[in-house]
Structures are given as structure tokens and as C-alpha cells.
Amino acid sequence: MRLKIKPWKCSQLLLSLLLPGIIVLEAMPVTADEINNTAVFGGDNIGSFNTNNTTFRAGEADLQITKTANKSAAEPGDTVIYRVVIRNTGAVSASNLTLNDTLPLGLRLAEKSVQGSLTDGSTTSEVEVSTTPAQNRTVAINYAGSIPPQGTLSVVYAVTVTPDGMRGSGRNLAVATTETLTSNTASHLLRIRPGILSDCATLIGRVFVDKNFDGEQQRGEPGVPNAVIFMDDGNRIITDANGMYSVANVISGNRTATLDYTSLPGYIQAPNLYKIKNNSQSRLVRLAPGSMARINFAVTPAFGEGKVGAKKRFAPKSSKGGRL
Ligand SMILES: [Ca+2]
């Protein structure tokens, strides 16, 4: 009797049994992890018989991916270091791996920064990875080697935050694939702050009936809705139901806002008894980049309550009182 097992290609076995007959077992790979098995039986005085086919699965590789960054928030001009760890939790090696990372808007990969290292047990060594230029913000990083079972491939790379990052979500998604496997999708959210590169600011304020002429809004001093304010850049702003307004993305610098009294029939400018410079229809404010400033307009009815005798009834004794 002779038992012979020899490797045939990668996963094909040839088993021959002599006396009293011949049994040939062939194992043909269908996919990387699926094997189709057929047996042929025969002898000197009998014909050959084919057995039925059986299929069984070999050990599988499995990929798990995690992604981290060296900071949770960044500003335009900052560099962020991402680390992607791909672990093979399967029973066989995973080869020819590609990491696809879709970067958020405004983040640009520094291609020369890409580094790879492979950890097998307690041994970590650098490995060569290549980068395919980004298409639609998706960067492909390729590793031509194999990740052994329970081994990890770490890929580290740097991205630069551009001013466009302010318009993006800051979230990126990474997924690792081989010819037959796809990992889970790792996600990381980077909060992108305006930083010093933002040249815009925010202007807020309110138009209200100032009954005690201190320039501040206290209780009992209602806001005036639908008041029109013109900016020096031509912007036209209308107050809401509470007399409030806000303008985002105002170009920084010296900005002027003017209350249009033609939008407020029956009201005139309320005199400010404490700040003479505020006794003006137009107000000047210095808006620093990324800052917020407030311009309030105090008005008073041209006739009736709030004008005649208001100063005596509501004027504070020694201070301006609280601001609403
Ligand atoms: Ca007041």
C-alpha cells in the first residue's frame, strides 16, 4: 500500500491508494476560502467511479480596522497625524491589502509622510507601502505584503488642513480591502475651527424701546421687530420678532451699521444719557477676525409713553442697570 500526498499548486492535493484499487482525491480551490472536493475510485478488475462532490471551507482571514488622530480639533494650517491599525483576526494571512481613506473636504494628504509597520507577535518592523493619488478625496494606500494571523499593519500619515476645511464635515472614513475581504469602516471626526486664518466676524444686536435712556435694554423695554439696518457693505438686515438681529461672516475691520428710521414709523432715536458717542443714527464698530461684536439701537416713540416724563420715571439712580 502506498500513500502519497504532494502539494499541487497551492491547495490542491493528490492522494493515491493502490491495492486493491485506486482512489484519487482532488481538492480544487473555488475561491480563496472554499474548496471543492471530488473522489474517483477504481481497480484492476473494476471500472472507475466518481463520488459526489463535497465542498468545505478553509480557514479565513478577517480584517478589523481602527482609525485615530493625534488631535480632535484643528485649524486651517494645522497638520493632523492619522494612524490606521488593521488587524488580521482570521486564521490565515491576508495579502495585497489596500487601504482606502476618504478624507473630508479641505484636508490634503502629505504623500511623503505615509509610513507602514507590521507587527507580528512582539516583533514590529517597517514595511513598504505605496500611495495612489487621491481621486474624489479618496486616498488609496497599498501594501503588497501579507498580514499574518493576529498580526497588525499600522499606517501613519499626515494631512494638512486647508481653509476649505471650514466648509467640510471633518469626518473621514477608512476601509481596508484585499481581493476577497473587506474590513469594517473606521470613522474619525475632526472638529475644524476657524482659527486665525478666518477673516470673518459676527455682528449681533437689537433694536429696542429705551424708556430710561441708558442705552441698555431692561425688562419692560420691548424689542422692535422689522427694523431695517444697513451695513456699509450694502447688507440690509431686518430685526426679528424680538427686535434682534445677527449677521455671520462679516468681513473684519471697521464696520458701520445704520438704523433706517423710515422703517420705524412713530419712533425716533432715543438719547443716551451716559454715552454721548452712541447718540448717532450710524454706529462704528471694530470687528477683529473671528470675533463677535454688538451694536444696539435704542429708540423711543416720537409721541406718547416712553418719551414724555420717561427719564424721571425710569432713570437709574447711580448705574445703568442690567443688560438683557
Ligand atoms: Ca434702558
What confidence score (pLDDT) does residue 119 get? 92
Instruction: Compute the C-alpha angle 95/96/99, nearest 5°.
Output: 115
Which residues are within 8 A (CB) of 42 and not within 5 positions of it... i.e. 6 or more apart?
Answer: 21, 22, 48, 49
What separation in Å is there between the alpha carbon of 75 and the centre of ligand 1? 40
Scanning the structure block, which residue is given the C-alpha cell 455682528? 203
What separation in Å is there between the alpha carbon of 23 and the centre of ligand 1? 104
What separation in Å is there between the alpha carbon of 316 and the centre of ligand 1? 9
What confidence score (pLDDT) does residue 203 get? 92
| Parts of the chain with a pLDDT under 50 | 1-32, 56-57, 306-323
What separation in Å is there between the alpha carbon of 305 and the centre of ligand 1? 14
What confidence score (pLDDT) does residue 81 get? 92
Q: How many CB atoms lie within 10 A of CB 200?
A: 15
- C-alpha grid cell, residue 277: 458717542
What confidence score (pLDDT) does residue 138 get? 86
What separation in Å is there between the alpha carbon of 217 and the centre of ligand 1? 4
126-179 confidence digits (pLDDT tens) = 999 988 876 778 888 999 999 999 999 999 999 988 877 777 788 888 889 888
187 within 8 A of 171, measured Cβ to Cβ: yes
Scanning the structure block, which residue is given the C-alpha cell 469602516? 185
What separation in Å is there between the alpha carbon of 300 and the centre of ligand 1? 10
What separation in Å is there between the alpha carbon of 235 and the centre of ligand 1? 27
What separation in Å is there between the alpha carbon of 288 and the centre of ligand 1? 28
- C-alpha grid cell, residue 301: 416713540
The whole-angstrom separation of Cα 221 and Cα 230 is: 23
Q: What's the Cα-to-Cα distance from 252 to each of 19, 66, 69, 214, 316, rounded to whole Å? A: 96, 41, 32, 28, 35
What confidence score (pLDDT) does residue 39 get? 62
pTM above threshold 0.85: no
171 within 8 A of 204, measured Cβ to Cβ: no
What separation in Å is there between the alpha carbon of 270 and the centre of ligand 1? 10
What separation in Å is there between the alpha carbon of 251 and the centre of ligand 1? 30
What confidence score (pLDDT) does residue 136 get? 73
